Amino acid sequence: MLQPQVLICGAGIAGPAFALQLAKNGVRPTIVERAEAVRSGGQAIDIRGSAVTVIERMGIEPAVRAANTGIKEMSLFDDRGKKLVSTTAIGPIVEDSEHSNIEVLRKTLVDLLHRELEGKAELIFGDHVVTLRQDEERVSVVFASGLEREFDLVVGADGIHSATRSLAFDPDEWRTRFLGAYSTIFSTPNFLDLDHHQLWGHTTKGLASSVYSALENSEARVVLAFQSELPDLDIRNEQLMKDEIKARFGGLGWIYPRLLLEMDSTADFYCDEVAQVVMDSYHKGRVVLLGDAGYCPSPATGQGTSLALVGAYILAWALQAHNWDHKAAFAEYDRRMLPFVRANQEKVNLGAHFPKSRFKILLDAKMIKLLSYRPVRNFLLTKVFKVNAGCSTAVELPDEISIGDHVKELL
């Protein structure tokens, strides 16, 4: 048998992470990405629990840690711009935790993965798959450009709105669970002169915001989120979504007028529904889903990146451990990932982001203030972080194997 031919749809985090797992052991995959270049935007993301072990085994953990956002202070404001509390205790809590997480910008991790992948995969930008036909032996693929290719396996790592999923799976084999909110993220100049500082804005009107310094304070990132009972806003219509955000945040004071002005001129506006992808199996025939395409937990869990990294590792491991018997490998992938995904999807809590009353906002401020006291901090480490760590490590992560030997047997 010749070297396995693997197509990966999506060049974000999940796809390149999986490609690196294959490439470092002799398999050169193909990655196709709809965008014309690597997407540079995105918010700060967390790498937690078992995902930290994965990046250690990938050899990129030192570089990822070196790029930590380094947020040192967090302040909470009400919708009138009144500062309710400010604390520098967030950093020590994360650093002291046995299951500490690493926070980096999405852009930083994506750029790092692509640098590591240079020369190790075939990358096709500005194209995407429009037709999938598979039989017992191969998957025939037609791209939007007209290119036709055949592959042994196709991996859908193309996000929550995965075209691969829609092409390969029946509508009743997956569903999107809308969680009643939308969120947007975009870059701005650091006009507030924030120094590794994050501002949170809470209102009682189903609105929430966050502004934090990024890239060593050279920029800022803005997150604006709003609750909505409408699960069908046209998120692909950028102007419509900007108008929706202006309608909801336009009546507020504080820094909101400036944020809305910056939103109009930003180069990396992104808006999406806060939702989850729910499936009972992540594969069908020779097609398998990875990351948000198969099991988006929603940004509210903070676990999307970790699930993608762990999934990439386990999928690559399973294929090699089963000598590229895709049926056995995909079954193994499901067995390990399904419980892990469900544990993380169940922990979503939008109530913490959208307080219903001013009393709840003031209560949140009081709790944040108490973080400055070591007894309270210790309580959080032993109680709250223990729960979060349980979700981030709720997976049977296999030991590394000599994947190269398995590849050699196939050649």
Q: What mean pLDDT, rounded, does the chain reach?
A: 89
Q: At what angle do helices 384-392 and 374-382 cross, to 10 degrees?
A: 30
Position 387 scores a pLDDT of: 53
Percent of the chain with pLDDT over 70: 90
Has residue 231 been placed in a domain? no
* Tens-digit pLDDT profile for residues 282-306: 999 999 999 999 999 999 888 999 9
- Whether residue 333 lies inside any domain: the answer is yes
SS3 7: strand
**Number of domains present in the structure of the chain:** 1
Q: Would the pLDDT of 352 be above 80?
A: no
Amino acid at 53: T
Domain presence at residue 302: yes
Query: Tell me, what's the pLDDT at 307?
Result: 97
Cβ(300)–Cβ(274) below 8 Å: yes
- Between residues 382 and 329, the one the model is more confident about: 329
What's 146's domain CATH number? 3.50.50.60
d(CA 79, CA 206): 11
Instruction: Give the pLDDT of residue 204.
Output: 84
Asked if the structure places residue 193 within a domain, the reply is: no
* pLDDT tens-digit series, residues 6-23: 999 999 999 999 999 999
Q: Is residue 33, in this structure, part of any structural domain at all?
A: yes
Strands (E), 111-237: 122-125, 129-134, 139-143, 148-151, 153-156, 174-189, 197-202, 207-214, 219-227
Q: Is residue 169 part of a domain?
A: yes
Residue 295 lies in a domain: yes
Owning domain of residue 328: 6-53+107-176+277-348
Say yes or no to pLDDT of 403 above 50: no
Q: C-alpha distances in angstroms, 231 versus 25, 249, 274, 404?
A: 43, 19, 9, 46
Q: What is the pLDDT of residues 36-90, one digit of tens each?
A: 999 877 889 999 999 999 999 999 999 999 999 989 999 999 888 899 999 886 6
> In 299-321, which positions are buried (b, 16+ CB within 10 angstroms) versus exposed (e)?
bbbbbbbbbbbbbbbbbbbbbbb
* Residue 55 CA from chain centroid, whole number: 15
**How many other CB atoms are there within 10 angstroms of residue 97's CB atom?**
19
Is residue 373 included in any domain, yes or no?
A: no
